[in-house]
Amino acid sequence: MTAGSGELRSYGRRRGRALSARQAGLWRHLLPRLAVAGTAAELASPHRLFPPGISEVWLEIGFGGGEHLLWQAEQHPEAGLIGCEPFQDGVVKVLAAIAERPATNIRLYADDARGLMRHLPAASIGRVFVLFPDPWPKRRHWKRRLLSEATLAELARVMAPGGELRLATDIADYAAWMLVAVRRQGSFRWTAAAAVDWRERGSDWPQTRYEAKALRAGRRCNYFRFLRA
């Protein structure tokens, strides 16, 4: 299911280069075993997407190359992770990694995350990651930015009280945009006590390839943690 017809796309391309024969095989055969359709019936109890023993469900929106998603799944076998990514190249990267090293606690939604979120039950998600979303740098495109008050309100609905929301960006004005949107929406408490708290990732927050590229280019990254009130 895609985002609603009234919602602007918050991402760019859906596809890059043509898939190799191996990638096409993963898309045809492995993805259906891991895919979340995003229907209300399927998501009525998100824990059932995973094998027994999962204590909470986490959501990553726009997982890119999948480095963070795969790391969190390995480090936290008690958590079931739903990764959302509309870009085909990113999805096949994760499929290739899982083919080599199976992960039973990852499920994939290869589309706009907002289509899935609208069917998640209230207070069903324990942690959400939105790391380096498309900044849409031109002012006329800012309305396409994912981190709007509307999206934050939907995240607040699906997140459990005390759940953690992690946001990251290497674009200064988007960082300010995020903080303003979170404050206006009003459902999350920023945990930072000092500048170091948003200038360093912390030990439970691995680096992504996009972040590494930003740092090589000399851009400062911002790492925000918020708790659902």
Q: Which amino acid is at 111?
A: D
Residue of 134, 173, 197, 204 marked catalytic: 134
**CA 74/CA 35 separation, integer angstroms:** 19
3-state secondary structure of 222: strand
> In the block, which residue shows the tokens 């740092």?
215
Q: Phi first, then psi: give them for residue 27, nearest 5 degrees.
A: -65, -40
Are the CB atoms for 195 and 160 separated by under 8 Å? no
Residue 208: helix, strand or coil by DSSP? coil
How far, in Å, CA of 223 to CA of 111, rounded? Answer: 25
User: In the numeric block, which tokens belong to residue 88?
Assistant: 């085909």
Euclidean distance between CA atoms 89 and 208, whole angstroms: 15
Question: In 10 A of CB 196, how many CB atoms?
Answer: 9
The number of CA neighbours under 13 Å toward the Cβ of 150 is: 11
* Alpha carbon distance 223, 203 (integer Å): 12
Beta-bridged to residue 133, according to DSSP, are: none
**Catalytic status, residue 134:** yes
What is the set of active-site residues?
A: 134
